[in-house]
Amino acid sequence: MTGPTEPKSSALILVDIQPDFLPGGRLAVAEGDRILEGVRRLMLSERFSVQVATQDWHPPGHVSFASQHPDAEPFDTIELYGKEQVLWPDHCVQGSSGAELHPELPWERVGAVVRKGADPRIDSYSGFRNNWGPDGSRSPTGLAGYLRERGVESVFLCGLARDVCVRWTAEDAVEAGFETHLIWDLTRSVDAGGDEDLRIDLESDGVRLLRSTEMPTDQR
């Protein structure tokens, strides 16, 4: 894993840390609860000038739910707007307890929450851009502009799931021009069996991987 440099201003991006992605949730990620204490410590530290959370926020009947497609099962794939779409169990439905930001974390430290997946026609993994819509484009969420206006040059990502929403957010952060770090031990994957390939793909895409014990102490 490569270590981070020392940028002028850094942001912590907390990806989809919601009960539906933790053990017992509708789309549980194995050992997802193991990240909570480390995430909490980072949030309470003075290491970051900006903290932002993303929140899956689906209306009932979202197009990504397997329940909306006859004869489909969760984790089946279909073609949607010319791209592959994984079908998920109903999860993070607006207003449900599973969609709330996890109550054990100090969300008062967060300056903005990016809600994604609110359009019933379009899935949304990345905090920076929605998935492809009917017109074939990926619309921005506004997160990149929010960070740039605050002088952020470098982002550090943690949360769930490592191989889906964290990955897409990290790759889009690189594309948007941010120095991008993924805190590996403060994420978990839906498919942990693919983690070694994921490491290779992320690093080849320009994402820097590190562990929370390797975090520099002076980034702001």
**Tens-digit pLDDT profile for residues 71-99:** 999 999 999 999 999 999 999 999 999 99
Cβ-Cβ contacts under 8 Å for 169 (sequence gap 6 or more): 13, 15, 54, 125, 126, 127, 128, 157
Of 16, 33, 123, 172, the catalytic one is 16
Look-up of token digits 């194995």:
30
What is the mean pLDDT of the segment spanning 114-128? 97
Q: Tell me, yes or no, if 205 is annotated catalytic.
A: no
Which residues are registered as beta bridge partners of 12? 51, 156
- Asked whether the beta carbons of 60 and 21 are under 8 A apart, the reply is no
Of 116, 123, 163, 172, the catalytic one is 116
φ and ψ of 43, to 5 deg: -65, -35
In the chain, what are the domain boundaries? 10-214
The listed CATH number (3.40.50.720, 3.40.50.850, 3.40.50.1950, 3.30.365.10) that belongs to domain 10-214: 3.40.50.850
Q: Tell me, yes or no, if 83 is annotated catalytic.
A: no
Q: Tell me, yes or no, if 195 is annotated catalytic.
A: no
Of 20, 33, 165, 172, the catalytic one is 165
Cβ-Cβ contacts under 8 Å for 38 (sequence gap 6 or more): 158, 185, 186, 212
Strand, helix or coil at 31? Answer: coil
Per-residue pLDDT band at 220 (split at 50, 70, 90): low
pLDDT digits (tens, 9 = 90+) for 198-214: 999 999 999 999 999 99
